[in-house]
Amino acid sequence: MISDRFKQAVLKELKLDDFDIKDETLANQVPGWDSLNHINVIVAIEKEFKVRFKSIEVLKCKNLGDLQKLVDSKISK
């Protein structure tokens, strides 16, 4: 389940007032999330949650729910 903190980090980085982000939402469905902003969003999430991702971990994420689960697995350690 997408946390409000996660959602706000994404929205802030993409300069969006609001967007309904669900577990099954794909990055290309979020306005402004393109190949150029992808890195910025990932870095913003890393900063917000004080975690670091390996490239392969991010590549394995199929949707935003997977990315949220990755964050959760990092902060629960």
Return the CATH number at 24.
Answer: 1.10.1200.10
Residues 6+ apart with CB under 8 A from 39: none
Is the overall model pTM greater than 0.85, yes or no?
A: yes
Residue-wise pLDDT for 13-46, tens only, equals: 999 999 999 999 999 999 999 999 999 999 999 9
Domain span holding position 55: 4-75
Count up the domains in the chain and report the number. Answer: 1
Provide the pLDDT for residue 33. 97
Determine contact, residues 65/23, Cβ cutoff 8 Å: yes
Both tokens of 37, joined, read 């902003």
Provide the pLDDT for residue 24. 98
